[in-house]
Amino acid sequence: MAACYHGFDPAAYLQYNYTAPRADFKRQDSIVPWKLGCLHRAFTEGDVSGELLVDIGSGPTLYQVLSGCEVFNRVILTDFLEVNRQELRRWLRDEGDCGLDWTPYLQHVCKLEGRQPSVWTEKAARLRAVVSDILPVDVHHPQPLAPGALSSVGADCLVSCFCLESVSPDLAAFTRALGHIQGLLRPGGHLLLIGALGESYYFGGPGVKIPVVPLNEAEVCASLKETGFTLIRLEVYTLPQDMRVGVDDVSGVFFVKAKKE
């Protein structure tokens, strides 16, 4: 699978998936606002708490921790690819020249939190303050992060979006990877998982076609159960026809809130 990611282009990937129509904040049925809404609700229901939030397979994106950064005092971002880690560092250091302007995302999440969109700069400052590390990760290794990256207690919450199914050759590997990241989480900690349904490929750049494990809801639930998670909630989004823009063959997206027993 690592070979499939040679040539991955963070800027192209961001343009394919994180601009309109998939990121149209004026539309109720746009996929990105749906994901942000799921994450906002999960982080503000009161049961997800602690000190450390770890994002598994961040890619070149930040949206998945925009709500969580208000709940946790420390956030660790991770990705297998150095080009993605570099993209994240550019934003966190406020160097400019980023592949995407995250301002509309910051503004939208501020609105979800009942704040004026104009305070988005405060949220950006908060995120930059709480991200303590951007680390390499390999979900196919029984210890996905380097030894000592986390304390022995483990993370209080894991987020992972569109990672496991897009780096696994089959369902069995997806389930094993889920088990590996489960080992990073403290007992009683939460997992917030977003992933693709019915997707067999996506483009990670011009001509970079990456295979994906096509999942359905039942398979996701079975994998969670097998790896020691208790499902709290499963939500499903079905892509409208105009969201199917030719950069993948995804039919839907799932959101999972689960707890490690």
pLDDT in tens, 104-134: 999 999 999 999 999 999 999 999 999 999 9
As annotated, the binding site includes 13, 18, 57-58, 63, 79, 84, 138-139
**Domains of the chain with bracketed CATH:** 2-260 (3.40.50.150)
Q: What is the pLDDT of residues 127-180, one digit of tens each?
A: 999 999 999 999 999 999 999 999 999 999 999 999 999 999 999 999 999 999
Q: What's the pLDDT at 160?
A: 98
DSSP letters, 132-201, are: EEEEE--TTSSS-S-TTSS-TT-EEEEEEES-GGGS-SSHHHHHHHHHHHHTTEEEEEEEEEEEEES--E
Tell me what the pLDDT averaged over the chain comes to: 97
Q: What's the pLDDT at 97?
A: 85
- Three-class SS state of 234: strand
pLDDT over 90 at 95, yes or no: no
| CA angle (95, 97, 102) in 5-degree steps | 85
pLDDT over 90 at 28, yes or no: no
d(CA 38, CA 215): 20
Q: What's the pLDDT at 96?
A: 81
Q: What is the pLDDT of residues 197-233, one digit of tens each?
A: 999 999 999 999 999 999 999 999 999 999 999 999 9
Q: How far, in whole angstroms, is CA 96 from its chain's centroid? A: 22
As annotated, the binding site for S-adenosyl-L-methionine includes 13, 18, 57-58, 63, 79, 84, 138-139
d(CA 172, CA 69): 32
Are 58 and 31 contacting, i.e. CB atoms less than 8 angstroms apart? no
Residue 258's pLDDT band, with cuts at 50, 70 and 90, is very high
Q: What's the pLDDT at 55?
A: 98
Residues 6+ apart with CB under 8 A from 46: none
Q: What's the pLDDT at 117?
A: 94
Asked whether the CA dihedral 31, 13, 134, 104 is positive or negative, the reply is negative
Are 161 and 194 contacting, i.e. CB atoms less than 8 angstroms apart? yes
Burial 141-160 (b: 16+ CB within 10 A, else e): eeebbeeebbeeebbbbbbb
Global confidence as pTM: 0.97
What percent of the chain lies above the pLDDT cut of 70? 100
